[in-house]
Structure 1
Amino acid sequence: MLSNKRLVAVCAIAFCCNIAGLVLFMKYNSGEKCYATIDEQQKTRLRELAMALAPARLRLGGTMSERLIFSREDIPQVSCDHCPSNLTSKSTCHAVKKLCRHKFLPFFLMSGSKWNEINEFCKAAHLKLLFSFNVLLREHRNEWSDQNAIDIINYSKQKGYLVDWQLGNEPNSFQHVFNITISPHRLAKDFVKLRHILNENGYRNSLLVGPDTTRPQAHRPECLEYMVQFLGNVSHHIDVRAWHQYYLNSRTAKLEDFWNPDTFDLLKEQIETMNRHTKSYTHIPMWLSETSSSYGGGAPGLSNSYGGSPLWLDKLGLSAKNNITTVIRQSFYGGNYSLIDKDLEPLPDWWVSVLYKRVVGNKVLHIDCKCSRFQRMYAHCANRKYTNDTTAVTVYAINLEMAKARFLLNGSALHGDNLSIDEYIISAPSNNRKSKTILLNGWPLYYESPKLDLQPHQIKYGNHISMPPYSIGFWVIKNTSIKVCK
């Protein structure tokens, strides 16, 4: 899911499935300092694009979190053969020695100054940081070595940083990725230790999120087994049960796979499977803590184009419907599943995310749609920041067919002579689903300033909505008789 020279951090909107992502590139080789490849002008632009989706959550994690070592100081080159002995961060050299036992795997250093930049960026962009500790720093008896984590925690507390925490990334796959095994029982003990450390060092109110297993698959039952055994040993010490989800293999996926209803149904089956196997722990919120359309870095020209947007919107709707309270997008910048491109220009899923956040509220409503398998529809109370109308409802839908779809707004709550509808139709120019430019109500979308001018088409006194071929639609329906949105 990550290239072998990049650490990816992602952020998710901190309420029901409004999503963004953010990526921080860090170069690494054995012991090399990490640095962000963003200049001041880019930093301003990046902050603007992130703020458009705030309040949000930034996740600094992924596969390379297991290669990260913290050092308060900006120190010169460190290697397996050389580490300065006079460091303030006493755990740095200790951690280097531990990771150097795995000589075929590189490591990199994150300095205190870079940690400051990350936290200052989060504060400026109204993001809450979610950070994953390196769980592969192990003692000889396979116990987690917490010294480097304590350094980060103490440093963060001194600076007054607000952070939520994880420990490890996809631990059920460690044997495949790192040729290392950590049992769910052992990892649960490590989480208990971390919870005590957080409580004793000023982070009692911070969330502890885990175990970040991969999606459930029939041919890989170890994912579910790992999750269930982990929860059975740690449920009183974590705040969120989290897992990762992707639909497709980026190396083999084709455009039609992204628009196939069978692909869309995979997430529904996986959520139901995960819920069924963890039903004893429904008091613990569930997150998709890393997710996108296709794994392995994303499919070029597909997962970063309009071709991937229906899957993204459907994931938001289906997750909200199933009470998955946070969805963390992989990724905002970097890879072929990013929300913005290398020139910091928004890609289709960024626009879809912004519009979703603008018009969709937190409360999910039941909707009956006489749709074919090629149309999918969801309904929420409208976002109160969008309209003061407490009866307003937002309906959003996807049309996967090369044919127009038309729906009657039926039922007593949506019936009446004075319905007012704000309509937003997203489509691709000439139905080119691989386009990285999209149309809103027929006009191309370009980012020019933080004050986004997303104007709806207004429908007065109508009781029908319709969708062009291969389109996405949002409708804010006002003056209904619905009372539950008050």
Structure 2
Amino acid sequence: MALLSGGEWWGQQTPRVSLTDPELQKWVRVLAPAYIRIGGTESDRVAYGDQDKSHYNTSEIDSATVADLAAFLRQTGLDLMFTLNAGPGVRVNGQWQPEVVEPLLKWMRDYQVTPAVFELGNEVGAFWLIFGLKQQITYGQYVQDTYRARELIHRYFPDTQLAGPANAFWPKLKEPFSSVIGSSRMLFERPSGLDIFTWHFYPSQSTRCPLRSVTATERQFLSPAFYQEIKAQAQMIRRWSENSLQPLHVWLGETGPAQCGGEKQLSDRWVSSLWWVAHMGLMAEAGQQVMVRQSLVGGDYALLSPVKGGYQPNPDYWVGVLWKQLMGTRVLSASVDAEKFLLAFSHCSPDKNHINSVVVNFSKDLVALQIPSVTEKLLHVSSIDLRSRRVILSGMPADTYEDLLQGDIPWHSAVGKHEVELDGYSMVWLNQKDKDAVCR
């Protein structure tokens, strides 16, 4: 949101990103179909138009911003997920005031922007930290707010879904201070106006964070315990959902390698890509229907970094493109038998005609990997160093494969192979036809 409204992000005033930049649109278009989330901490501090700003609402979105957003969505083919202000600046005696956010919905209607999802507030369980103890709302109050928001939204967009509470879960600590302010689990235990339960999870915190339960380091990103914690948090949310009193979709509404803006020279390097593929795989196995990556641009965890004359994809962008093109929504079982730390994931392809798998080697050592005899194609993906920005696909830099952006994967034949060598700190993608119609 700060990049759209010109607000503050991690102690710095941020310039507005140009949504009409054709270079930005080019890189984003490759990721479709997808959602773009306009959210984050600034969502609960933004004013809509010429409303009187309080010391809570410190930045602004106007009709011109919505017009640019409409053009961006048309050019990229993305669906919109937009976080509405639920902070103290739009409350009277603790109650959320729909009329304060209504100008935004009018502009969206006028510019033919129909959000797929509105989200009510960002990390509402942390208002005490962001705005002060007296501004923390209860989850009981939040439930009342969801009904008000739903009524307003459906007046303008009858098919748009409502998500929340976008609460933060920390590694090892889960929801900090939930014993005092309550847990978002309550939203599975009583009716509300929500369609989607969103939660936020970063497996580590950058050195920007004043408090850290797991500090982002290269060693952490390569540790089995790091991924066991990711799996444990996701499975906990899955158990909550399975015992829900109302049907709610479950989305990981914000995630990245390191909280608080990412860690410099770590979360924008190849070592982060090993994590990113494993993170997507583990979350998909745990039933997360959508994962929202923080961020597209901005911070040290961005998929795209600004350079003179445009944008440069970071390593996580390239492996994200591969995941998008190869891994559909149907999750299959996968395992690997090895002494080294390897993780494997298998999905039906998006067209359901193939089965694609990926094996990630988190050790420094070369591994001889036994592969199924039905494997027809393979793709090695690596880098020259864990701290490099360069991604190498089958021996060539990723940015030399222009056709990759159109879905043309530079596969190598695997016919007749029963074993492949997997270099340390690398991954291999495997492709086979779905001859047994598992995916259909």
Deviation of the 1:333 alpha carbon: 0.9
Shifted more, 48-57 versus 226-235: the winner is: 226-235
Distance 1:169 1:373, change over 3 A: farther
Verify: 1:161 aligned to 2:107, yes or no: no
Shifted more, 172-181 versus 154-163: the winner is: 154-163
Match of 1:241 among 197, 200, 214: 197
SS of the residue 2:194 aligns to: coil
Match of 2:95 among 124, 138, 143: 143
Match of 2:422 among 467, 470, 481: 467
Aligned residue in 2 for 1:53: 31
Distance in 2 (CA, whole Å) between partners of 1:211 and 1:222 is 16
Q: Contact (CA 8 Å) 1:245, 1:288: kept in 2 or not?
A: yes
Could you list the per-position Cα deviations for residues 151-196 of structure 1 after superposition, in whole angstroms to 9, with x for gaps in the alignment? Answer: 2122222332110201111111110111120111101100111111
Verify: 1:191 aligned to 2:146, yes or no: yes
Higher relative contact order (CA 8 A, sep 6+): 1
Distance 1:64 1:369, change over 3 A: same
Distance 1:173 1:123, change over 3 A: same
Alignment of 1:351-430 (within 5 A): 351-372=318-339, 374-384=341-351, 390=353, 392-409=354-371, 414-415=372-373, 419-429=374-384
Match of 1:62 among 40, 43, 46: 40
Q: Any stretches of 5+ residues in structure 1 without a counterpart?
A: 1-6, 9-23, 76-91
Distance 1:362 1:452, change over 3 A: closer
Verify: 1:458 aligned to 2:413, yes or no: yes
Deviation of the 1:123 alpha carbon: 1.8
Verify: 1:227 aligned to 2:184, yes or no: yes
Q: Contact (CA 8 Å) 1:34, 1:110: kept in 2 or not?
A: no
Between the aligned residues of both structures, percent identity stands at: 22
Deviation of the 1:234 alpha carbon: 3.7
Alignment of 1:21-420 (within 5 A): 24-28=3-7, 36-38=16-18, 43-71=21-49, 92-93=51-52, 96=53, 100=54, 103=55, 105=56, 107-136=58-87, 137-163=89-115, 164-179=117-132, 180-199=135-154, 201-215=155-169, 219=173, 220=175, 222-223=177-178, 225-235=182-192, 237-251=193-207, 252-281=215-244, 283-343=247-307, 344-372=311-339, 374-384=341-351, 390=353, 392-409=354-371, 414-415=372-373, 419-420=374-375
Please tell me the residue identity of whatever aligns with 1:367.
Answer: A
Please tell me the residue identity of whatever aligns with 1:265.
Answer: Q
Normalised to the residue count of structure 1, the TM-score between the two structures is 0.80
Please tell me the residue identity of whatever aligns with 1:203.
Answer: F
Match of 1:433 among 380, 386, 396: 386
Distance 1:217 1:317, change over 3 A: closer
Q: Contact (CA 8 Å) 1:423, 1:473: kept in 2 or not?
A: yes
Please tell me the residue identity of whatever aligns with 1:175.
Answer: W
How many corresponding residue pairs? 416
Distance in 1 (CA, whole Å) between partners of 2:386 and 2:257 is 15
Please tell me the residue identity of whatever aligns with 1:240.
Answer: I
Distance 1:346 1:34, change over 3 A: closer
Distance in 1 (CA, whole Å) between partners of 2:414 and 2:14 is 52
Could you list the per-position Cα deviations for residues 2-38 of structure 1 after superposition, in whole angstroms to 9, with x for gaps in the alignment? Answer: xxxxx35xxxxxxxxxxxxxxx454248xxx997343
Deviation of the 1:131 alpha carbon: 0.7
Q: Contact (CA 8 Å) 1:56, 1:128: kept in 2 or not?
A: yes
Deviation of the 1:214 alpha carbon: 0.9
SS of the residue 1:182 aligns to: coil
Could you list the per-position Cα deviations for residues 193-244 of structure 1 after superposition, in whole angstroms to 9, with x for gaps in the alignment? Answer: 1111122x23121111111011165544545942122343444x21111100
Shifted more, 305-314 versus 439-448: the winner is: 439-448
Could you list the per-position Cα deviations for residues 241-271 of structure 1 after superposition, in whole angstroms to 9, with x for gaps in the alignment? Answer: 1100101121142211111111111110101
Q: Any stretches of 5+ residues in structure 2 without a counterpart?
A: 208-214
Deviation of the 1:70 alpha carbon: 1.1
SS of the residue 1:460 aligns to: coil
Distance in 2 (CA, whole Å) between partners of 1:66 and 1:376 is 38
Distance in 1 (CA, whole Å) between partners of 2:102 and 2:22 is 32
SS of the residue 2:305 aligns to: coil
Distance in 1 (CA, whole Å) between partners of 2:110 and 2:5 is 24
Distance in 2 (CA, whole Å) between partners of 1:39 and 1:222 is 38
Q: Contact (CA 8 Å) 1:66, 1:134: kept in 2 or not?
A: yes
Normalised to the residue count of structure 2, the TM-score between the two structures is 0.88
Distance in 2 (CA, whole Å) between partners of 1:380 and 1:204 is 34
Distance 1:140 1:485, change over 3 A: closer
Flag the structure with larger Rg: 1
Distance in 2 (CA, whole Å) between partners of 1:215 and 1:182 is 18
Deviation of the 1:453 alpha carbon: 5.6
Distance 1:172 1:467, change over 3 A: same
